[in-house]
Amino acid sequence: SSPLPQELEEARRWKGVRDLRPLDGNVRRWGGLLLPNNPPYNAGAFRFELTFSSHHPLEPPRATLCTPIYHPAVDSEGHVCQPLTTHEHWAPATRAVQVLQDLLQLLDSPDPQQMLRPDLARELQEHPEQFRHRAEEHTRLHAEKRPDSPGP
């Protein structure tokens, strides 16, 4: 039987996400809101999807950001440069909540070395103030309102 129902319950208890649930009743597709802690992204909430293969936990899940974000590690399709979920770094013992924690850490600390958008990585390195300003503006325009209270 799948470990996913227990992993979903475990992930729901973590304070970095809200509204985490299976999409279309499919336990292999989760959706929710990620709540970054640091500027420039902490003014909003970002909808994400986590998709598990039928070979989970032997294969890593795939995280996709559904909310547009101005970030060097996230492309315009919402694909995320997340080393933890690459086949080289994936370990079957890794829990779904760790994937979400890693994703939040990635959003909270943009790293020009982890990039899918070289233009934004270059801007972050060469013009950090301009990058931060644009990312804040983008967050204000695109991110969802943060939920006030903790809970499912």
Instruction: Report if residue 71 sits inside a domain.
Output: yes
Give tens-digit pLDDT for 70-79: 999 999 999 9
Task: Tell me the per-residue pLDDT of 16-50, one tens digit each, with 9 for 90 and over.
Answer: 999 999 999 999 999 999 999 999 999 999 999 99
Q: How many residues does the chain have?
A: 152
- The pLDDT value recorded for residue 149 is 55
Q: Name the pTM for this structure.
A: 0.93
Query: Are the C-beta atoms of 69 and 144 separated by less than 8 Å?
Result: no
What residues are labeled active site? 81
CATH code for position 63: 3.10.110.10
Q: Is residue 89 part of a domain?
A: yes
Domain count, the chain: 1
Q: Classify residue 151: in a domain, yes or no.
A: no
Domain containing 49 equals 3-145
Residue-wise pLDDT tens digits, 78-127: 999 999 999 999 999 999 999 999 999 999 999 989 999 999 999 999 99
* 150 domain-assigned: no
| Cα 80–Cα 88–Cα 65 angle in degrees, nearest 5 | 10
